[in-house]
Chain A
Amino acid sequence: MNIIHTKNLTKTYIRFEKEEGLRGSIKSLFKREKIVKTAVNNFNLEINEGEFVGLIGPNGAGKTTLMKMLTGIISPSSGTISVLGYVPNELKNAYKKQFSIVMGQKSQLFQDLSAADTFLLLKEIYDIPEDEYRKNLKYFIDLFSIADYLNVQVRTLSLGERMKMELVAALLHNPRILFLDEPTIGLDAVAQKQIRGFLKEVNREKGTTILLTSHYMDDIKSLCKRCIVVNNGCKIYDGNLEMLFDRYQTHKMITVTFDEATSYIHDFNVQIIERNPFKLSFMAYRKDVRHIINCIMTECEIKDISIEEEDIGNVVERIYSDKGGALIEEIF
């Protein structure tokens, strides 16, 4: 069932530009240069219930603006939005009870109190029945293993612990949709992995629809089947994540080590990363990998060989720098 639907959604911001220096500041008191920035442009989106969708794009692409419009925090300049049959910007309480948003850089917990105190407040704000509250709290305490620091002042928690608490706070009222804006920002690899595990579980067990923005492609790759790429406020790709990576993860990283000093030279179309008599690292087109490996193994005495996927950062850079139109035509 389609629960998020937007049509020709556009948001423009008005900003003011000021010339640098004191003179510019005085001048701007009398006359300011107005700049109109289109953050989201004619955006069409359909999301079904239970989907886990990744929203990626460079900084300033319009991802967060889109989320803010879907939650009703800001109003669109034009176009229509319907989420669970509601117009978000009308901010009806019945709608607010059915979604949650977690912003990695903003907290909804009271810093001076324990997370348990905030949870009690949220129980009343969302009118969560006592039984349901106890059941949900127990479920999340077990899932996130947070029993030990539930009653500790939030201010003293580590970033990873705090983020777990933020997620519990967002999920206590069983929202049908969870909007996540960079939930793993600043977390170490272990905490990131844990958070990913919880989100996967919540999506699978509770059927919560999740829309996730993240700059960490590992988050997107391990959680989302569907991915939407946004750049300059426009949707440049919407579809299967694997297909996107098949198209853009064009290279593989090959590292060969030799038992003896070797000066292997061959006319391959590769990009050398490291070269010394005992080691050779290079990037090769995926289609050429089999041929290159065959040649090396035939012509040299090798000690070890490794073939790895290309660094995800390169792939992302390639996706963002592509022309939107060309991308969509080629994929579909």
Chain B
Amino acid sequence: MKKYFETAKVLFKAQLVYRFDTITSIIFTISKVFLAYVLWGAIFGKQSVVSGFTFNSMLSYYIISSFINQLDQSSSTGWQISNEIRNGGFSKYIIKPMNIFGYFTAQTAGVSAFLLFFNLTAAVIWIFIFRVDFAITSNGWYIQSASVLILLGLLFMMQLNYFIGILAFKFLDTGIFMMIKDNIVQFIIGSLIPLALLPSGIIKTMTFFPFYYVSYLPTMLLLGRNGNEIFSGIVILLFWNAAFGLLISITYKRLKSRYDGVGI
């Protein structure tokens, strides 16, 4: 376990190397909070409630959900895996006495920990400056459940991106799979079309997919809503994690033999 902790630590350190990058990343988070403040301020105008959300709860929703989404750095890890398979750099992971999925998960966790630490600090400062009455729930059960869902959701996204990454053993270029995944995720979490506009049958179908529970449900829980979906959310995420764990294991065993380690 210590090797994976050290891996996460190394990646955390790597994020700190370039001071300009670190500062820009913090400013970016700050500007997002600022833009949300301006945007929702304009939408609310003189109204105190929009679609059941007050200005503060809407701003809180935006901050929490964009924060959870930012924690998920697995997509760039997926790209890295497929590029390294394509150019032969993946060999250096194959020959190390470690679990390769564990290594990449730790690597992604290192980057997420960096974002969590610096951006959370920045966000907290700005919430204080804008005097946002942060509408986070005080219900301990909701907070714990949301934390479990976030961890399960991040693990699922890691597995999904790792799976797409290792498809490069067979297809070499996994760009199209990444694009399909991104579109499906955006559709299901409602960033392409608001979920409320879709027929109820489709919305119900989407709740069987894991993406709904990755950021939307934990955010709502942290705002003290949707408590009735906790159990189904955890069960569905556990199921998808188990399914992808199995899928990865089978796929890796079958496709690894196709690896040529070109370029070395």
Contacts and interface: CB of A to CB of B under 8 A. Distances in A.
With most chain B CB atoms within 10 A of its CB, the pick from A68, A72, A120, A123 is A68
A13 B260 CA distance: 8
Contact of B95 (A64, A73, A113, A153): A73
A211 interface: no
A238 interface: no
A331 interface: no
A214 interface: no
Given A64-B264, A74-B259, A126 B13 contact: no
A101 to B, nearest CB: 6
Given A106-B92, A120-B6, A124-B6, A74 B260 contact: yes
B96 A125 contact: yes
A72 B90 CA distance: 13
Contacts of A13: 260
B264 to A, nearest CB: 5
How many B residues touch the partner, as a band? Answer: 20 to 34
**Interface residue SS majority, chain A:** mixed
Contacts of B95: 71-73, 96, 99, 101
Contacts of A74: 259-261
Interface string A77-91: 000000000000001
B3 interface: yes
Given A106-B89, A121-B6, A125-B3, A73 B14 contact: no
B98 interface: yes
Interface in A38-84: 64, 68, 71-75
Nearest to B98: A125
B14 A106 contact: no
A124 B2 contact: yes
A181 interface: yes
B97 A72 contact: no
B56 interface: no
Nearest to B18: A112
B147 interface: no
A110 B10 contact: yes
Contacts of B257: 75
With most chain B CB atoms within 10 A of its CB, the pick from A75, A121, A127 is A121
B49 interface: no
B17 A96 contact: no
Interface in A113-162: 113, 117-118, 120-121, 123-127, 153
Contact of B91 (A75, A106, A110, A125): A106
Given A91-B94, A101-B95, A110 B264 contact: no
B88 A106 contact: yes
Contacts of A125: 3, 6-7, 96-98
Contacts of B89: 106
A326 to B, nearest CB: 32
A113 B17 contact: yes
Nearest to A123: B6
Contacts of A97: 97
B201 interface: no
A105 interface: yes
A123 B7 CA distance: 11
A68 B14 contact: no
Contacts of B14: 110, 112-113
A126 B98 CA distance: 8
A180 interface: no
A298 interface: no
Interface string B43-63: 000000000000000000000
A6 to B, nearest CB: 18
Nearest to A109: B92
Nearest to A89: B257
A137 to B, nearest CB: 16
A99 B92 CA distance: 12
B247 to A, nearest CB: 20
Given A68-B264, A106-B88, A118-B10, 14 more contacts: A72-B94, A93-B97, A96-B96, A97-B97, A103-B264, A112-B17, A113-B13, A117-B13, A121-B7, A121-B10, A124-B6, A125-B97, A127-B3, A127-B97
12 contacts: A68-B261, A71-B95, A72-B95, A73-B259, A73-B261, A74-B261, A96-B95, A103-B91, A110-B10, A113-B14, A121-B3, A124-B6
Q: Lowest 9 A-B CB distances belong to which pairs?
A: A93-B97, A124-B3, A96-B97, A124-B6, A112-B17, A73-B91, A73-B261, A125-B3, A108-B92
